Amino acid sequence: MKKIRWQLLIIFIAGLVVGILLLTEQPGASVNSPEPAKGGVYTEALIGSLQRLNPLLDSGNPVDKDVDRLIFSSLLRFDSRGLAVGEIAESWGQSDDGTIVNVTLRNGAVWHDGEAVTADDVAFTIDLIRNGGDFIAPDLQSFWQDVEVKVLSDTAIQFKLPEAFAPFLDYLTFGILPKHKLDGMTIAEIADSDFNMAPIGSGPYKFDRLIVEDKQITGVVLLANDKYFGDGPYINSIVFRYYPDSESAWTAAQDGLVQGISNVSDSILPGVLANPNLSVYTTRKPEISMVILNLNNAKTAFLKDSALRKALLTGINRQLIIDRILNGQATIADGPILPGTWAYYEQTPRIGYDAVQAAAMLKDAGYELADDEATVLMKDKIEISFTMLYPDDETHRKVAEEIQREWAELKVQVNIEAVAYEDLINNRLATHDYEAALVDLNLMNAPDPDPYPFWDQGQISEGQNYSQWDNRMASEYLEQARLTPDFNTRVKYYNNFQLIFANELPALPLFTPQYSYAVSTDVQGVQLGPLYNTDDRFMTVTSWYLLSQRSGQPTALPTTGTGK
């Protein structure tokens, strides 16, 4: 009995202690869990050189866009799925007919010098775009010249469109410039002004100083904006250092001079991946590589046959190309809309590689060798032979050669021809002077999928419908998707379009290239989703941190590369 009493007493005491511990612990809290703390310096290597820190003048220089993303704000940004999220804009809405869009700005948004950001600043920036001269793309100038902009109050602005245009929100991502600093100047005068070397914006970071070594600008220092209208950043300072190529940036990272590399090229990827002090974030680029086929070339009328086009795609080993030529830095594409976006149809039919099936498909479609000595398939006494153009660089050459080899195994003869990129676009595709072409459709700065420019009937003669695909039903879906403001209806239209595209295959989708970004393991909170521009890697920059705290005590993580 004594033994039993002692056992019961021990159980009672143990239970009492556990109960006291549970009562004193805060619900939902973990003991000594680290939390972000403000402070620290993050230094990143950019591949290129500074030209102008001005969001209206950075379209030709990605490294300027990277820095501008942190200094300037826009009305809207887009998340990884291509859905609009407000930045300076607090809310927005449109009329039932889709021709009027009203935007309300946040209260309390200020420029880095303390002046309030107002709707007048937005209208001022748009006016600069409208009259952009040689600095702004002509189509963008023309677009804004057709939009009536009305300032309703300091925090409200209205846009009146000549007709409904659902992708309009894409055009509200321009960086806003301060009217009180630049008023009265033309864009040409602004381009030559000192503003571009000491800019004032309203973003989460503000310009501090340039780093100059041997009379050359080698970097720029930004400081956290303590007046930022959103959740302020944890990292106190971000320093950008400029390097001529990925290799020199990689050397700087190994030497401890930088904590991040903006663009990890294939040449340095193996070394970066092997470095335990770096985290590599990989996502898809806003590009789709395709073989564009000219469906209205009299010399290659056989390309109009969708059965032939399906067999040709079935005969391309896209995964082999990705693994052996692209070092795994791509994913197979199934259509003309980027995967991961709100408009991408997950049920799109997928065509896998099968050389035997491809040969059978060609035979079933009536493509045969003329005799035992023939080496090229024929149909209706016409050899299946054509020329495929490709951009004149090593990677595209290797891809083109592999496709040529695989199609040769199917007894389809393809000659390949290297063409300078500008010549390929302006003098061959735009004039339809080609039979087939290996190209990369660049969807940068276009979060709204809007495939209309590349595939609508109306874009055949003077637009970018280089395939000259003439499908009335597909065009109807694309045109209606541009006009309706209803999101769910747009999704249905694009789903239907993708099904038609997959059935017709006016072009052969190959793959979407990937972008790799390296950041020190000391930097916490980094997230990277699908991009519409490389500066989108800073979408969550205000959540990054180098310092953490436990029980209220700040703790410095080991850091490198202060940029000083």
User: In this predicted model, what pLDDT tens digit does every residue of 361-401 receive, in sequence order?
Assistant: 999 999 999 888 889 999 999 999 999 999 999 999 999 99
For residues 155 and 42, give the distance between their C-alpha atoms in angstroms, rounded to a whole number.
34
Q: In the CATH scheme, what is the code of domain 287-513? A: 3.10.105.10
Pull the structure tokens for residue 310: 């399906």
Domains 31-72+203-277+521-564 and 73-178 share a fold: no
Range in 303-317, 338-352, 550-564 with the lowest mean pLDDT: 550-564
**Average pLDDT of the chain, as a whole number:** 91
Q: Is the pLDDT of residue 436 over 50?
A: yes
For residue 191, which of 51, 60, 74, 49 has the smallest C-alpha distance? 51
User: In this predicted model, what pLDDT tens digit does every residue of 524-538 receive, in sequence order?
Assistant: 999 988 889 999 999
For residues 14 and 109, give the distance between their C-alpha atoms in angstroms, rounded to a whole number.
57
Q: How confident is the model at residue 548 (pLDDT cuts 50, 70, 90)?
A: confident
pLDDT at 447: 83
User: In this predicted model, what pLDDT tens digit does every residue of 219-252 receive, in sequence order?
Assistant: 999 999 999 999 999 999 999 999 999 999 999 9
Ramachandran sector of residue 30 (left: φ over 0; alpha: ψ -120 to 50; beta: rest): beta
Domain 31-72+203-277+521-564 indexed as CATH 3.50.50.60: no
Q: What is the distance of C-alpha 212 from the center of its chain?
A: 31
Confirm whether pTM is higher than 0.75. yes
Domain range annotation of the chain: 31-72+203-277+521-564, 73-178, 287-513
Q: How confident is the model at residue 444 (pLDDT cuts 50, 70, 90)?
A: confident
Q: Is the pLDDT of residue 25 over 70?
A: no
Q: Is the pLDDT of residue 481 over 60?
A: yes
For residues 260 and 43, give the distance between their C-alpha atoms in angstroms, rounded to a whole number.
7
Spatial CB neighbours of 106, under 8 Å, sequence gap ≥ 6: 86, 88, 89, 90, 155, 229
User: In this predicted model, what pLDDT tens digit does every residue of 251-302 receive, in sequence order?
Assistant: 999 999 999 999 999 899 999 999 999 999 999 999 999 999 999 999 999 9
Torsions phi, psi for 491 (to 5 deg)? -60, -45
For residue 420, which of 443, 396, 401, 444 has the smallest C-alpha distance? 396
The third-level CATH classification (topology) of the domain covering 73-178 is Dipeptide-binding Protein; domain 1 (3.90.76)
- Angle in degrees, CA 141, 143, 149, rounded to 5: 95
Ramachandran sector of residue 192 (left: φ over 0; alpha: ψ -120 to 50; beta: rest): alpha
For residue 295, which of 282, 314, 309 has the smallest C-alpha distance? 309
For residues 222 and 542, give the distance between their C-alpha atoms in angstroms, rounded to a whole number.
13
Range in 18-27, 70-79, 511-520 with the lowest mean pLDDT: 18-27
The DSSP code for 393 is S
Torsions phi, psi for 340 (to 5 deg)? 90, -10
Spatial CB neighbours of 488, under 8 Å, sequence gap ≥ 6: none
